[in-house]
A and B are shown apart, each in its own frame.
Chain A
């Protein structure tokens, strides 16, 4: 078993400073956030440029080169609904530290992202929903099967499809949380990799509570076999949880100073 993969989520146009930096092609704020996340232990960095319908290709290439040149070819997740922007990003992507991640495909309108990933030897995050949240695990697993088949038919290795059960917000969908965790177990039993925007579970909660919820959810999800998550690596409690779970799962060898490395 490999170590849990932390995908840093903080370079995203949902944050006003990032939105501004992308719009103005201002490298500094983006570099700063990347550095903070890498220092905290992120393995992959998500680059969410938003829909970027007009200039997506150029923005993505600019961002990929910016970060990879500055941070020793840091592996990236290319996050946009603009397919051409993803392809453009992959064109300039250096894979010496890891394949690019296409974020994301689903079983609905974004189904063709799987083929895109296959054609570009990339990893793809496969969201187990169509054009709405799956109503139950039967539906979730049917989506999973369909996307897995699609990937395998296009010559992908199963390990390059990272299935996302879609973490659901506790405030509003509290009764669905165990179902999401059960879906992760089903992925794991099939030997599949998994990931997801974990902090979605604590959306709308007070700021001081969110790290507690995120950490607990992460520990429970790792117990179920979650192999990666898209999270804020600068949440210390969360990162301590990741490192500790990795020890308990024997993904990493224990040493007294394990939290410091």
Chain B
């Protein structure tokens, strides 16, 4: 629990010596409680006092690293409840659940590999495999683990049997998996297995109060490498757990709950992929670090990964696409060119409309620092000069034979300047809004 000013004040020498820069010890104590000053600023604190306060200055939520090598991921480490307050830092990761008694393990592992694509500089795929121990013996489970190892994903071993877990960890601990399955009854054994293997331990409880006590018990054994399984009996309870864990941690300052959370949708909405998508969307927004689904097809991935990418964008840094030539609808060197900025939203809107038109277009994306058309123009990031520079750097003149260039209607004023900088090009003013592009390009190329 975050310390209150009065608690800290009791530890101060109460001399009002001002050596810390504050007018009184009370003022100093209040500032320390608010995180505005480090406790060490007071030269008269006893070591006991310092020790009891040191925890109060650490980040509220821990960052947990899982996986090894290229598959390594960071979970948690959030500092705010809502992205507009600052930014969210470590995006929700998706796992697919595979049980040790599934009849079609090979096919399911193969299916987990299906989704793999890039979206605005981010690889979108199933980052984790949630390997569910079905109670059919250590051999079956280890066999599953060994097969799953080859996929290069972070493994989550969902297994509450410490002996089986140990056997599984012997096979994969180098990959830094998560061992999920500790609860109030098996904590001693599970904790021993996880710490011996040096892996993150997943903790659960019948309710948030039991979970809380179990985390305390794990921390009491010196283990602070945890994730919290927030999955409850149903969707409502799971949502409540996820919100209360994060809110009690970040808003109310309770460090015991300062760990990333996992929710298992395969458990609360089994067999209903649409419902899992609805819930996954909710948990991307409300505080799951790991979302476990029963499967992940492109239908789910395209929507969920798009949402996730949006939500975990830093509000201070706009999403940008790479400048360059984007050939749409089978465009070749003779197809017309259309120019716009690298702001991701602009790119998506414009390319989406052009794709719907089915007309071949070379979409030219110029570097405008991720600003929208008008903002970039006003800031001098989208001018005849920057466009000329882009044409030179991207070698447009040699790569494309067409000499027709459509510019956004909002910057029609630049037409003359662009023509002056790009001799030989026919500059055409396009529509004001992206939604008018389909009609425009159809009429234009007709």
Contacts and interface: CB of A to CB of B under 8 A. Distances in A.
Report if A and B touch in the complex (beta carbons < 8 A): yes
Interface of A: 137-138, 141-142, 144-145, 148-149, 152, 158, 186, 189-192
A189 B24 contact: no
A190 B5 CA distance: 9
A137 B24 CA distance: 11
Given A152-B6, A158-B5, A144 B30 contact: no
- The bracket for how many chain B residues form the interface is 10 to 19
Interface string B161-199: 000000000000000000000000000000000000000
Interface centre among A137, A141, A144, A192 (most CB of B within 10 A): A141
A141 B27 contact: yes
B34 interface: yes
B24 A142 contact: yes
A142 B34 CA distance: 20
Given A145-B16, A189-B36, A190-B31, 5 more contacts: A141-B23, A142-B24, A186-B23, A189-B27, A191-B30
B286 to A, nearest CB: 23
B85 to A, nearest CB: 12
Main SS at interface, chain B: helix
B407 interface: no
B25 interface: yes
Interface of B: 5-6, 9, 16, 23-27, 30-31, 33-34, 36
Main SS at interface, chain A: helix
A192 B24 contact: no
Nearest to A149: B26
A148 B6 CA distance: 9
A144 B24 contact: yes
Given A189-B36, A190-B31, A191-B30, A145 B25 contact: yes
Contact of A191 (B6, B9, B24, B34): B34
Nearest to B7: A152
Contacts of B25: 145
A138 to B, nearest CB: 6
A144 to B, nearest CB: 7
Contacts of B23: 137-138, 141-142, 186
Nearest to B28: A190
Nearest to A140: B23
Given A142-B16, A152-B6, A158-B5, A186 B27 contact: yes
B109 to A, nearest CB: 51
Nearest to A148: B26
B27 A145 contact: yes
Contacts of A192: 30
Nearest to A138: B23
Interface centre among B5, B6, B30, B31 (most CB of A within 10 A): B30
Contacts of B30: 158, 189-192
The 4 closest A-B pairs by CB, nearest first: A190-B30, A145-B26, A141-B23, A145-B24
Contacts of A152: 5-6
A189 B31 contact: yes
B132 to A, nearest CB: 47
A148 B8 CA distance: 14
A227 to B, nearest CB: 15
Contacts of B5: 152, 158, 190-191
Contacts of A138: 23
A204 to B, nearest CB: 31
A190 B6 contact: no
15 contacts: A138-B23, A141-B23, A141-B27, A144-B24, A144-B26, A149-B6, A152-B5, A152-B6, A158-B6, A186-B23, A186-B27, A189-B36, A190-B31, A191-B34, A192-B30
B326 to A, nearest CB: 38
A190 B8 CA distance: 13
B123 to A, nearest CB: 37
B344 to A, nearest CB: 27
A149 B7 CA distance: 11
A190 B35 CA distance: 11
A189 B36 CA distance: 8
Contacts of A149: 6, 9, 26
Nearest to A137: B23
Contacts of A141: 23-24, 27
B428 to A, nearest CB: 38
Contacts of B16: 142, 145
A224 to B, nearest CB: 15
Contacts of A148: 26
Nearest to B37: A189
A148 B33 CA distance: 15
Contacts of B31: 189-190
